[in-house]
Structure 1
Amino acid sequence: MSVKPRIAIILGTTRDSRFGNTPADWILNRAKARADWDVELVDLKSFDLPLFNEVASNAWAPSESSAALAWQAEIAKYDGYIFVTPEYNRSITGALKNALDQAYVEWNKKAFGIVSYGSVGGTRAAEHLRSIGIELQMASTRSAVHIGGSDFFSVHPLGGDPKPIESIEGSIGGSADSMLDELDWWTRATMAARG
């Protein structure tokens, strides 16, 4: 009997003025349209994680922070992830890095995809996130969604009069479909291997 993978869309920015809700909602709807996954949005802003201050990663010692334990329990529920992240100074947000550091065991041997955005499409943030994923023993999709350049400025408030994100489907829809298909394969493969 086939088990439906549980996929978390992780919104990796916590700023009050964040744009991340827009691409997160867009990829959430695309992922839910598959109908062969159970998909949920996980917003880092809802977890109020302190800066990592444990004696070690939970690979080596149990975490003591109740917030970290709640975060680990949340992450453990999922079989795969899609990280939605802007690029901050050539990397991911501090909030996302902190959230990744607050767990280890729960990320292991699971797959992830990326939706990134910024003037150059968040590509440097995505590459940094892939390196972190390797250390967490995760499998990354090859394909990712990069919202950049004129597409980014046409849908982001910085561009003046933002259009709906659906207006750039022609530029990002194909890469989203590829990323979702690859995530499905890697998620099912890692589920089978963990089982």
Structure 2
Amino acid sequence: MTKIAIVTGASRPGSVNKSVAEWVLAQVAGRTDAEFELVNIADFNLPLLDEGYPAMYQNYQNDHTKAWSAKISEFDGYIFVAHEYNHTAGPVLVNALSYLNAEFNNKAAGFVSYGSMGGVRAVEHLRGALSELQIAHVQRTVMFSLFTDFENFSVFKPTEQSAGTLAPMVDQLTVWARAMESVRDEQLAVTSV
């Protein structure tokens, strides 16, 4: 069964990020085309990148990196819950992505973003980083506005129109995640010759 992680993108106290991720998990709970799991970056206590070797070598020295690597390796695809911060992706998510490399290769990702402009700039910046990690990111994106999808900018209450964009993105993501499994198999066959 295809496994997809719903990855939080913030760890700041009071952040609405986890509530958005939990909403996504609740919305996909009845699907039979993949298994979904919430992965909370805050649970891994990742400091600013503190590994002595580039991630591509997988020569991890720290227990937090090893735990993060093991968890991310379990999945075929990812839904990144990203907020826009200073016209880019939040620093916690960018830092977490920087810890790893091969664990993400030849997998698929989709985005659920939010911010004053729906988090669009965060997603655009993440697309570049994910391309470098060899993650195929789907075109459909879910974007929530702080002005219309949050009550008092702090309680997540998506409009029907915004909420309706999730299923098409997940439909596209599950297909791509399954397709990328064959890419990983082909890559494995090439490297084991």
TM over 0.5: yes
Name the residue aligned to 1:187.
Answer: 177
Q: In the TM superposition, what is the alpha-carbon distance from 1:29 to its structure 2 partner?
A: 1.6
Of the candidates 164, 184, 187, which is equivalent to residue 157 of structure 2?
164
2:57 is the counterpart of 1:66: no
Name the residue aligned to 1:43.
Answer: 40
Q: In the TM superposition, what is the alpha-carbon distance from 1:26 to its structure 2 partner?
A: 1.5
Greater CA drift, 113-122 or 19-28:
19-28
How many angstroms apart in 2 are the aligned matches of 1:83 and 1:163? Answer: 17
Name the residue aligned to 1:112.
Answer: 109
Identity of aligned residues (%): 37
Q: In the TM superposition, what is the alpha-carbon distance from 1:156 to its structure 2 partner?
A: 4.0
Q: TM-score, normalised by structure 2?
A: 0.90
Letter of the structure 1 residue corresponding to residue 180 of structure 2? T
How many angstroms apart in 1 are the aligned matches of 2:36 and 2:156? Answer: 26
Q: Structure 1 163/111 Cα, relative in aligned 2: closer, same or farther at 3 Å?
A: closer
Q: TM-score, normalised by structure 1?
A: 0.89
Q: Structure 1 116/178 Cα, relative in aligned 2: closer, same or farther at 3 Å?
A: same
Name the residue aligned to 2:129.
Answer: 132
Q: Structure 1 95/35 Cα, relative in aligned 2: closer, same or farther at 3 Å?
A: same
Q: Structure 1 24/185 Cα, relative in aligned 2: closer, same or farther at 3 Å?
A: same
Aligned residues: 185
User: In structure 2, the residue corresponding to 1:181 is in which secondary structure?
Assistant: helix
Q: Structure 1 163/193 Cα, relative in aligned 2: closer, same or farther at 3 Å?
A: closer
Give the alignment of 1:142-161 within 5 angstroms: 142-148=139-145, 150-152=147-149, 155-158=150-153
2:79–2:112 Cα contact (<8 Å) kept: yes
Alignment RMSD (CA, Å): 1.6
How many angstroms apart in 2 are the aligned matches of 1:163 and 1:139? Answer: 28
How many angstroms apart in 2 are the aligned matches of 1:59 and 1:11? Answer: 23
How many angstroms apart in 2 are the aligned matches of 1:89 and 1:7? Answer: 28
Greater CA drift, 54-63 or 110-119:
54-63
Q: In the TM superposition, what is the alpha-carbon distance from 1:14 to its structure 2 partner?
A: 0.2
Letter of the structure 1 residue corresponding to residue 179 of structure 2? A
Q: In the TM superposition, what is the alpha-carbon distance from 1:107 to its structure 2 partner?
A: 0.5
Letter of the structure 2 residue corresponding to residue 164 of structure 1? K
Q: In the TM superposition, what is the alpha-carbon distance from 1:164 to its structure 2 partner?
A: 3.1
Q: In the TM superposition, what is the alpha-carbon distance from 1:60 to its structure 2 partner?
A: 2.8
User: In structure 1, the residue corresponding to 2:6 is in which secondary structure?
Assistant: strand
Q: In the TM superposition, what is the alpha-carbon distance from 1:170 to its structure 2 partner?
A: 2.2
Greater CA drift, 52-61 or 176-185:
52-61
How many angstroms apart in 2 are the aligned matches of 1:136 and 1:156? Answer: 35
How many angstroms apart in 2 are the aligned matches of 1:97 and 1:110? Answer: 18
User: In structure 1, the residue corresponding to 2:56 is in which secondary structure?
Assistant: coil
